[in-house]
Structure 1
């Protein structure tokens, strides 16, 4: 009997179409603290990172040092936007309804943000407690830590895991973990070079919608 395959989903930009809203939140909060110029193009270079690494990267790109005492402001603003506007990525609900086998979430976001995102979009019921955050491991993406942690918790060999990711950092982490990597470009933050960058990062396949993901999974022996 062939080993069962575990499907590991990133959250932001894969399950939920959150990246444009998250970029807006960063822009608003940095403006609020007197640090203008943190726009979507800056945040696009941080997609896939956990918040602490995003703050470091923004400083590298703009010179702005966000005050540690105000870290909570970022999630507070993001939560307001998510509650009002967050949507699932197109077609993900139907995809998850028919997906067979084990699945989990492995995200750079905090557990609170992941759970809120899944709750407001109606996707929480598909994952139960199988939620893993980079806050649970030492190193964020592109390190493989979160994916290896998720596989261990789910009792699956890394070689039997398939990761679905929208960011080059996430793809690099999946590859480093020894997992099959599917790049996803169906979110609202996609751009002309998105697929090429995911391929360059090591994606085995790149899919623009969930129908194509289903076809690729079928080729890997996973009914979806």
Structure 2
């Protein structure tokens, strides 16, 4: 990594994908709620958000099985993914203020997500922000370690030569916040509408336009 000092001593900013850069968490949660309905378990939107946000897909399916006491269909993963893509539709916009926030951050930026690598790249491309990250895309599927395990964040930081204590993670889910804290990293919790429960001791913000200034304060 370059020896150039970054504002506030921050070397690396790690972004979650869904709910932070692009707004598809609602579609994923609704797709999982659809699967739950097929398995005899009815969930409200609030219950789906609290139960599924930020988790690995298979873990979500297992949670549905535990609560419904019904085995999932063999093609459960396909059902969820196809339902999600149908709900998202043909176009995908980044969350309001994301483009400006990314342009205003001088530190190295990467994405670290529980989603599969092809989905991460597709959604970044569909939202027109892939160029802000290039090859700096890290998927839990590549290392078989999903948040709240901190391994994903630690892998990204190590690969990019950044110290954990000089890394800031931008997350919207409780499992992502937990992973960042376990990794010894500073974390900013994006709490837009429909965000799930969070650690009230973690700094929160509600507009991406605020992010560059907040990162500058973390040093």
Same-fold call, TM cutoff 0.5: yes
Question: TM-score, normalising length from structure 2?
Answer: 0.86
Name the structure 2 match of 1:49: 55
| Runs of 4+ residues over 6 Å off in structure 1 | none
CA distance in 2, matches of 1:115, 1:78: 16
Count of paired positions: 212
Name the structure 2 match of 1:73: 79
Higher RCO (CA-CA < 8 Å; seq separation 6+): 2
> Cα distance, 1:154 vs. partner?
1.4
5 Å matches for 1:61-210? 61-84=67-90, 86-186=92-192, 188-190=193-195, 194=197, 197-200=198-201, 203=202, 205-210=203-208
> Cα distance, 1:125 vs. partner?
1.5
> Cα distance, 1:143 vs. partner?
1.1
RMSD of aligned Cα (Å): 2.2
Residues 13-71 of structure 1 show CA distances to partners (whole Å, capped at 9, x for unaligned) of 1111111111222233444x454514423321221111111111222333343234432
Residues 107-137 of structure 1 show CA distances to partners (whole Å, capped at 9, x for unaligned) of 1111122122212211212111111111122
Specify the SS of the correspondent of 2:189: strand
Question: TM-score, normalising length from structure 1?
Answer: 0.84
Name the structure 2 match of 1:215: 213
Relative to structure 1, is the Cα distance of residues 82 and 120 closer, same or farther in structure 2, using a 3 angstrom cutoff? farther
Residues 81-107 of structure 1 show CA distances to partners (whole Å, capped at 9, x for unaligned) of 334353311111111122212010011
CA distance in 2, matches of 1:22, 1:81: 8
Relative to structure 1, is the Cα distance of residues 206 and 153 closer, same or farther in structure 2, using a 3 angstrom cutoff? same
Preserved CA contact (<8 Å) 2:115 2:139: yes
Name the structure 1 match of 2:42: 37
CA distance in 1, matches of 2:89, 2:174: 27
Relative to structure 1, is the Cα distance of residues 159 and 93 closer, same or farther in structure 2, using a 3 angstrom cutoff? same
Specify the SS of the correspondent of 1:132: strand
Specify the SS of the correspondent of 1:198: coil
- Gaps spanning 5+ residues in structure 1: where? none
CA distance in 2, matches of 1:86, 1:58: 28
